[in-house]
Each structure stands twice: as C-alpha cells, then as structure tokens.
C-alpha cells in the first residue's frame, strides 16, 4: 500500500490516504474518491488543469512513464524541460510536476502539492503544415 499525502492552500490540513498497490488508478481518481479538491477539466491529459507537484518519499523511485499528452502539456506550461523528459525516459527519474489525471499510483509513498483553482487550463498548440498551391 502507498501513503498519498495531499497538501494545498485549499485544504484546512494535509490529507493522507492509502492507495492499494496494483490498483492502476490515477492520482486524480484517488483524489476524487477521497473528496480532495484537485481541479480538473478534461481528465484526459490535454488541459493541464490538474497540474500538481509530486514528491516521491522512497529512496528508489519506481520506473515511470509520461504519456505524450502529458509531456506536451508540461512543456507548454514550462514545468518540464527536454532534459527532464530525457531523464525520465532513459533513467526512470520522475519529474516533479505531473498531471494528476495521468499519474498512475505505484507502491510508493508520495506527497502531492496542488494550488486549487489557480491552475488555468491551457490550449494545446498542435503544429500543422498548411499547403499553399
């Protein structure tokens, strides 16, 4: 089991809940289940409204994977660099900022900081080529 501690100015005190290891649920699902008010909009890794800072308390963090959507949104928010993406993919070193809707809870204790509704959803800019004839 993992201890997940939520901390935010929106909470009167920190909230620690237990997550069942192997349940494969997201951080956002766990927060909603325990009525922790992490803001969210799309719940699909596209808007960035569920941005949070995750601190892993284990000395050896488990391997992580960032979805392509999460990488793009975190880059657009300025919360992750190309170097941090490479470090996550090559060395399994998790970045500090994550999207709660994309973060799969593992069997490790974590602290999750979020700002409440101060997080503003972002519009993903997708590059596309225009053909002029």
User: Which CATH number fits the domain that encloses residue 18?
Assistant: 3.10.20.30
Task: Look at the block and give the residue holding tokens 């596309």.
Answer: 128
User: Tokens representing 83?
Assistant: 């170097």
In a domain, 131, yes or no: no
Residue 126 lies in a domain: no
Residue 124 lies in a domain: no
Kindly tell me the sign of the dihedral angle through the C-alpha atoms of 34, 35, 36, 38: positive
Cβ–Cβ < 8 Å for 6, 15: yes
Domain contains 32: yes
123 occurs within a structural domain:
no
pLDDT of residue 117: 62
Each residue's pLDDT tens digit, 103-120:
998 888 999 999 966 545
Residue 106 within any structural domain of the chain: yes
pLDDT score, position 92: 81
Q: Is residue 133 part of a domain?
A: no
The reported pTM is: 0.83
On whether residue 13 sits in a domain, the answer given is yes
Is it the case that residue 84 has pLDDT exceeding 50? yes
Q: How many domains does the chain have?
A: 1
Q: Which domain holds residue 81?
A: 2-118
């Amino acid at each position: 089991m993992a201890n997940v501690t939520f901390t935010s100015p929106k909470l009167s005190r920190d909230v620690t809940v237990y997550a069942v290891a192997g349940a494969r649920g997201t951080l956002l699902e766990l927060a909603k289940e325990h009525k922790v008010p992490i803001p969210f909009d799309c719940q699909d890794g596209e808007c960035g409204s569920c941005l949070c800072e995750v601190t892993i308390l284990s000395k050896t963090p488990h391997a992580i994977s960032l979805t392509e959507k999460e990488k793009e949104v975190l880059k657009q928010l300025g919360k992750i660099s190309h170097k941090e993406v490479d470090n996550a993919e090559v060395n399994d070193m998790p970045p500090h900022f994550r999207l709660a809707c994309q973060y799969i809870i593992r069997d490790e204790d974590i602290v999750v900081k979020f700002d409440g509704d101060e997080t503003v959803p972002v519009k993903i800019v997708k590059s596309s080529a225009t053909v002029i004839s």
